[in-house]
């Protein structure tokens, strides 16, 4: 009976780490998406900021 309770405690502990892994995977996925967007649209974003700076200076 004692062994069964110890195994149950270990299983409960291992499940709590599962949520952290899921959040880490979501964070990695979001980071990859942001990097891809910045790589593909980086030039356009830089142009927008340049236009804003030029408009503020004039």
pLDDT at 6: 78
Q: Which residue has the higher pLDDT, 14 or 25?
A: 25
pLDDT of 4 above 90: no
What pLDDT score was predicted for residue 19?
A: 77
Element counts in the chain: helices (H) and strands (E): 1, 0
* % of residues, the chain, pLDDT over 90: 53
Would you state the torsion angle of the CA atoms of residues 49, 52, 54, 55, taken in this order, to the nearest 10 degrees? 170
Q: Which residue has the higher pLDDT, 4 or 13?
A: 4
The Cα–Cα gap between 57 and 18 comes to 52
Q: What's the CA gap between 21 and 29, in Å, rounded?
A: 12
């Amino acid at each position: 009976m004692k062994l069964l309770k110890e195994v149950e405690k270990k299983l409960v502990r291992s499940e709590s780490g599962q949520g952290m892994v899921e959040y880490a995977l979501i964070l990695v996925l979001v980071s990859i998406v942001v990097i891809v967007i910045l790589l593909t649209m980086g030039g356009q974003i830089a142009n927008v900021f340049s236009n804003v700076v030029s408009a503020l200076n004039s």
